[in-house]
Amino acid sequence: MSREVPQLLYGRSDEVAEWVALQIPEANHGFQQATAIGVVSEGKLIAGVVYNEWQPDYKTLQLSIAATSPMWARKEVISGLLAYPFYQLDVYKCWMTVPSDNEASLRMTTKVGFVKEGIMAHQYGKKRHAVIKRMFKPDYERLWRDK
């Protein structure tokens, strides 16, 4: 049985951002007026990226990623999701925070190419820290351009 190749979903930022917020307990405030791109497979949303905290003067942007299936993590999908900030917005640094106890997300973001930059102590409550991870534009170009 052949599975459908996941496709990027554009133009539905509010819907995708709401879905991502529901998947991430730490995003209890949701995402207000953020751009988001979804990943759809077999007619179902399986992943999404919310692009928020855009700082054009500094060329930095925060990402929030959620997925319910590993099928989203294909080279062409990751390349496309990261092309938006690095090429359309001309971002130099994308960053995110990951709960330090979320080992699956820490592994996934490392595989994608995000590097640990620091720790935000007690970010998600007492004794629950956040790992700051980042990717620079040259890293994206080396890892994902033309994939």
Superfamily name with CATH number, domain 7-144: Gcn5-related N-acetyltransferase (GNAT) (3.40.630.30)
What residue segments make up the domains of the chain, in order of their start?
A: 7-144
Return the sign of the alpha-carbon dihedral for residues 105, 107, 113, 114: positive
What pLDDT, on a 0 to 100 scale, did the predictor assign at position 28? 66
Read off the pTM.
Answer: 0.91
Q: What is the mean pLDDT of the chain?
A: 93
Percent of the chain scoring above 90 in pLDDT: 85
Give the whole-angstrom CA distance, residue 25 versus residue 55.
Answer: 25
What pLDDT, on a 0 to 100 scale, did the predictor assign at position 5? 84
Give Cβ neighbours of residue 104 (< 8 Å, ≥ 6 apart). none
pLDDT tens readout for residues 72-110: 999 999 999 999 999 999 999 999 999 999 999 999 999
What is the average per-residue pLDDT within 47-72?
A: 95
What pLDDT, on a 0 to 100 scale, did the predictor assign at position 2? 53
What pLDDT, on a 0 to 100 scale, did the predictor assign at position 3? 67
pLDDT tens readout for residues 31-42: 888 999 999 999
8 Å CB contact between 43 and 77: no
Give Cβ neighbours of residue 107 (< 8 Å, ≥ 6 apart). none
Give the whole-angstrom CA distance, residue 99 versus residue 132.
Answer: 9
